[in-house]
Every structure is written in C-alpha cells, then in structure tokens.
Amino acid sequence: MRRKMMITLDEAVYDGLARKMARGEMSRFIEDLLRPHVLDASLDDGYRAMAADGAREAEAQEWCNGLSGDMANEAR
C-alpha cells in the first residue's frame, strides 16, 4: 500500500531534484534513498546470497522439476 506524505525541502534542493528527474520519479528516488535506512535489508541480502549459490539453485531446480513430474503422473 502506498501512503502520501508531505515533506519540506530547501528550495535549492528541490530545484536540483526537479532538474535531474521528472516529477513522477521524485517519490521513487526519495524512497530508494530512505529504504535501506528504515527497513531491515537482511532478508533481501539472504535471498541474494541464496540465488548466487549455483549448486543450491541447481538442487532447488531439480527438486521443482521432480515435483512437477510427479504431478503430471498423478491420476485425475
């Protein structure tokens, strides 16, 4: 869910921001800057580490393929 928030910026900061990006991109830019400071990123880091483990990913893919094969052979 998205929430609206009013913030106050120095005029020079706002003008610089407006020159660098389109109006619709400002919120995303500010959110991306704030996110690592206010949310726990350890879960994201964990998922990245798991995805980087090639052997683990291959094992997981093999397991998933085995499950789908089992389902295809199930009596209906």
- pLDDT (tens digit, 9 = 90+) per residue, 62-74? 888 887 776 666 6
**pTM, full prediction:** 0.49
Share of the chain above pLDDT 70, in %: 91
Q: By 3-state DSSP, what share of the chain in percent is helix, strand and coil, each rounded to 5?
A: 75, 0, 25
Using DSSP's 3-state secondary structure scheme, residue 5 falls into coil
Q: Are residues 35 and 48 in the same domain?
A: no
| Cα 29 from Cα 36, distance rounded (Å) | 13
In one-letter notation, the amino acid at residue 10 is D
- Find the helix packing angle between 42-52 and 54-72, rounded to 10°: 80
Kindly tell me if the per-residue pLDDT of 16 is higher than 80: yes
What is the span of the domain harbouring residue 5? 1-39
Q: Are residues 34 and 2 in the same domain?
A: yes
Number of domains observed in the structure of the chain:
2
